[in-house]
Amino acid sequence: MTSAAHSPSRNPGQDTIIVLVGLMGAGKSCVGRRMAQRLDIPFIDADLEVEAAAGCSIVDIFEQYGEEAFRDGERRVIARLLDGPPSIIATGGGAFIDEQTRALIGEKALSVWLRADLDTLVSRTSGRSHRPLLNSSDPREILSALIDQRYPVYAEADVVVDTGSDNANVTCGRVIDALADHIPAVKTSPTSDAS
Ligand code: S3P
């Protein structure tokens, strides 16, 4: 007999907080919004929550208070979101790099790294000015350095999905497939399926 966890009608996100991680331009917000529609659970953009809590934009937070203050706010906001009901949370690219935040995500959510190559990240972030880290010098150089620094850490996510130049719908489908495979294994009590 098929267990509830393996039933094809079971919706993989409805009892879980799913956290999307990855570099700027990986498509976390776009893909997250589509996933939330498909899984019928709320979508939360952590960057927007940080801005709402601060009452100003991320660019202004960096300019007026510095990156450290932004990171403090981001850590607090994500901790609050992880105490909330099931949702899809798109995090800012630095969130999962923070050790405390990464540990909390590991405890309370299922993490998905949207892995993208440098060209994809450069093209998806070009012509936008709302990311302070990319405004100071050549974005390709900055993104390349961030790939070196951060990819080994994003690799700690529960699920890794390559995005490449695929559109958000394709990536969304791929993430949901990967989660449907993954969630029964991590969320089902090992004794419940014992035969
Ligand atoms: C950052 C990524 C941004 C935003 C902030 C810092 C980072 O979010 O949180 O500008 O450190 O990578 P996105 O990844 O959504 O662009």
Ligand 1 centre distance from Cα of residue 51 (Å) = 12
47 CB within 6 A, ligand 1: yes
Ligand 1 centre distance from Cα of residue 180 (Å) = 28
Domain for residue 190, yes or no?
no
Q: Dihedral, CA atoms, 67, 68, 73, 76, nearest 10 degrees? A: 140
Ligand 1 centre distance from Cα of residue 24 (Å) = 6
Q: Whose CA is nearest to atom 9 of ligand 1?
A: 92
DSSP 41: S
Domain for residue 1, yes or no?
no
Domain for residue 193, yes or no?
no
Domain for residue 6, yes or no?
no
Helices 67-82 & 99-108, crossing angle to 10 degrees? 10
Q: What is the pLDDT of residue 127?
A: 87
Residues of the chain predicted below pLDDT 50: 1-9, 185-195
Number of domains comprising the chain: 1
Q: How far is CA 146 from CA 20, 57, 89, 97, 163, in A?
A: 17, 22, 21, 11, 17
Q: Which residue has the tokens 């969320």?
A: 187
133 CB within 6 A, ligand 1: yes
Determine the structural domain holding residue 158 and report its residue range: 13-180
Among 24, 29, 125, say which to mutate for ligand 1: greatest number of ligand atoms within 8 Å of CB.
24
Domain for residue 195, yes or no?
no
Q: What is the pLDDT of residue 184?
A: 57
Residue 64 exposed, middle or buried by CB count within 10 Å (0-12, 13-18, 19+): exposed
DSSP 26: S
Domain for residue 188, yes or no?
no
Domain for residue 5, yes or no?
no
Q: Is the dihedral of CA 48, 52, 57, 63 positive or negative?
A: negative
Question: CATH number of the domain that 44 lies in?
Answer: 3.40.50.300
Are 20 and 161 spatial neighbours (Cβ–Cβ below 8 Å)? no
Alpha-carbon span 150 to 87, nearest angstrom = 25
The tokens of 186 are what? 């991590």
Q: Are strands 110-115 and 43-45 parallel, antiparallel or unpaired?
A: unpaired
Q: What is the pLDDT of residue 185?
A: 38
Domain for residue 185, yes or no?
no
Ligand 1 atom having least distance to the Cα of 50: 9
Ligand 1 atom having least distance to the Cα of 150: 12
